[in-house]
Structure 1
Amino acid sequence: MLVVVANDLPPAVRGRMKLWFVEPKPNVFVAGIKDSVAVTVIDYLYKHCPPESGVMIFRSLPGPPGYEIRTIGPTKKAMINISGLQLVIETLKSH
């Protein structure tokens, strides 16, 4: 499975992503694709997305921890690596 969350994709990239993925929310793409196809899509994103696109890519992997997270440019959510485990930092809002 591949999940792509972006701040703002170039129109040509977003149009191509809509061919391969379901877009449940603007600039959020989800697809259950083979690993080899996922690598091709990731390579495409790295080649065609400028850093200001703010892309976060979640790809499922067969071994532990079961996923990897990659980014292109600054994203709205920060990422941290704890003992080799990639996590997305969620800030809590006080009421």
Structure 2
Amino acid sequence: MLVVIANDLPPAVRGRMKLWFIEPKPNVFISGVKDNVARKVVAYLYKHCPADSGVMVFRRIPETPGYDISGIGDTKRNLTEISGLQLVIEKQNSLCDS
């Protein structure tokens, strides 16, 4: 399985992604492609997406923990690793007191 979340994809890349993926929300792509095809798609993204695309890729892998997270450019989210487990850090909104 492969999940791709982008801030902004070039039109040609987005059109190509629609061949292999469903797009439940703009610039969010999900597909059950085989591992070999997933590697080719990720290589395609790295080759054709500029840094301002802000792409985050979640890819299933056969090793523990079962997934790999990678990014291209500023994804507006930070990745961290704790005890070998990759995690996405969400920015917290501060609440204003009334």
Cα offset, 1:85, TM superposition: 1.2
Q: Mean alpha-carbon deviation: is it higher for 45-54 or for 61-70?
A: 61-70
Alignment partner of 1:56 is 2:23? no
Q: CA deviation at 1:94?
A: 4.9
Q: Give aligned pairs, total.
A: 95
Amino acid at match of 1:7: N
Q: Report the TM-score, using the length of structure 1 for normalisation.
A: 0.94
**Who is 1:22 aligned against?**
22
* Percentage identity across paired residues of the two chains: 68
Runs (4 or more) in structure 1 with deviation over 6 Å come to: none
Letter in 1 for 2:63: G
Structural mapping, 1:1-95, within 5 Å: 1-95=1-95
What is the TM-score with the length of structure 2 in the denominator?
0.91
- Stretches of structure 1 that go unaligned for 5 or more consecutive residues are none
- Decide which structure has the larger Cα Rg and report it: 2
Q: C-alpha root-mean-square deviation of aligned residues, in Å? A: 1.0
Distance 1:49 1:11 in 2: 10
Instruction: Compute the displacement of 1:84 (Å).
Output: 1.9
Task: In structure 2, list runs of 5 or more residues that go unmatched.
Answer: none
